[in-house]
Amino acid sequence: MCLQGLLLEEATGQEVGYGYVYYVASAERRQVLFDESLRETALQALAAARAIREAGEPPPLSSVPEAKCKGCALAERCMPEESAFLTGAQAAPRRPTPGSNLGRTLYLDIPGAALRKRQGRLIIEADGQMIKDVPLSAVDQVVIGQAASLSSAALSALSDLGIPLYLMEHGRVRSWLQPNWNKNVPLRRAQFRFVELESQSLAVAREIVRGKILNQRTFLQRGNRERKIDLIQSVVERLEGLAAAAKEAEEKESLRGLEGLAGRLYFSGFAKLLRQGEGFDFSSRNRRPPRDPVNALLSYAYSLLTKDCINVIIRAGLDPYLGLYHCERNGRPALALDLMEEFRAIVADSVVLNVVNRGIIKESDFEPVFDGIQLKDGGRKRFFGAYQTRIREEAVHPVLGIVPTTCGSWRSRRAIWGR
């Protein structure tokens, strides 16, 4: 407040000697005098903030008092308790406070529809009629598909409020508009240096593949609790061995071989969990384009997961195209793919199994396109809903021991990678 007073003095040329703090809970207003001591303290804090900015990296978390971290608007990004726990500086973190980004996504997938901005709200119109009215404050992300459009006012509002926009077509992310988050040049330099160190990138790649295989194993094991299918039990045992082998792999090519073998085994078990018949028979993975309903659903789920992981990586200030495990390739968001590997089974595949076995998606929800098939409009809408429900579910974090949503787990990984 004192710094705001100094700015007013500079702008108006008049002395600002005090300000007021209003406490909503007690309905009290307290006067704060801008005396010389407070002015000096405020200027020292400003100088310290500028020094941190010029240094290019945050101060050690161990030097930050917990009292200042609790309730801080930036705690969601630096995650002081989680980082301190991983370095052994403190005990397990407490249950996380929900951040400002709750993963609330507005999907616009109606051909010919338009997204407009009107007095702090997003308006969806189709055929000259308003079909949806959403406050901008209730949106964390916008996804546009098919032949929908948006106004320049809506585009400006999303950019000003830091709300990312994704354009999707035929189940793939075509492009995105991200707010200007990637300003941390030292962090990106550190990312490039880290990737160049083969021993470090290999260590992370081992954990990525090992985590993916273990999650595949867990997913099949849970699905087989009541079914008691011998083939799935055999796959579970073999996946456990492959996860152990991934931990000892000496090069990335070996990891890719283990990942490929694990994938073939996993999908042979995944097929047994699906409701048989009714157009959802599944034998193996195929894509580009997917040629059967299950593969179309898997591809669509992976596209949504990729989109969310790109968002998480960019918000961290990292380069989504420079990965630790996936090879560099023009246009491939390798680091986002690294992040999503461990979540494929427990998020994307889980959603597919859910919508198929519960009859949320039916064979009639698909239509041919090129040499493959894709979901129709109604099917996509229901699938979006199932996906959003899944990423808001809570689960115990395997390392931190806290119970975040899936979105929260992504943010935890993002902050840890940034550190």
Residue positions in the annotated binding site for Mn(2+)?
259, 326, 341
Binding residue ranges: 259, 326, 341
| DSSP three-state, residue 269 | helix
Task: For residue 167, give the amino acid letter.
Answer: L
Structural contact between residues 217 and 269, judged by C-beta atoms closer than 8 angstroms: no
Cα 401 from Cα 417, distance rounded (Å): 18
Side chain identity at residue 232, one-letter code: I
Burial class (CB in 10 A: 0-12, 13-18, 19+), 128: exposed
Q: Report CA-CA distances (Å) from 119 to 60, 133, 150, 382.
A: 42, 11, 16, 29
DSSP helix, strand, coil percent of the chain (3-state; round to 5): 50, 15, 35
CB-side neighbour CA atoms (13 Å) of 201: 21
The C-alpha atoms of residue 339 and residue 305 are separated, in whole angstroms, by 10
Residue 333 vs residues 7, 21, 171, 311, 344: alpha-carbon distances, Å: 43, 46, 16, 11, 16
Contact 62, 84 (CB under 8 A): yes
Contact 342, 410 (CB under 8 A): no
Block residue for tokens 């968001």? 333
Contact (CB, 8 A) for 239 and 265: yes
Maximum CA extent, the chain = 82
